[in-house]
Amino acid sequence: MKTWQITETHGWTIDALRQQEKQSKHTWQYKQVASIRMVMEGYKGIEVAACLGLNRKSVSEYVRLFSEGGLDQLLSRNFTSHKPTYLSLEEQDE
């Protein structure tokens, strides 16, 4: 089983991530930060996923996001919907 590697820590240490976990206001934030910390500690992706109740592909995506842009990119929630909006722009302004 492949062990994922954090290619860029952006200055975050394991202890700093543990503190960030404690400050998380939402469960999803906690799980994302904890998954990065656990990968940095050497856990395999499947172990992290099982421990946190996540899909291993989610853990892989978290590692990719963190490696690319650090904690800011990891915790940004950009939901994109390809479905057209129900209301027109004028109705939305109203």
* More confident site: 45 or 94: 45
Q: For 16-58, how does the pLDDT look when each residue is reduced to its tens digit (9 = 90+)?
A: 999 999 999 999 999 999 999 999 999 999 999 999 999 999 9
pLDDT at residue 81 above 70? Answer: no
* More confident site: 51 or 4: 51
Cβ count within 10 A of residue 47: 16
Helix (H, G, I), strand (E, B) or coil at 4: coil
* Mean per-residue pLDDT of the chain: 88
Q: How confident is the model at residue 61 (pLDDT cuts 50, 70, 90)?
A: very high
| Pairwise CA distance, residues 77 & 37, whole Å | 19
- Please name the residues in contact with 14: beta carbons below 8 A apart, sequence gap of 6 or more: 37, 40, 41
What tokens appear for 38 in the block?
A: 């656990």
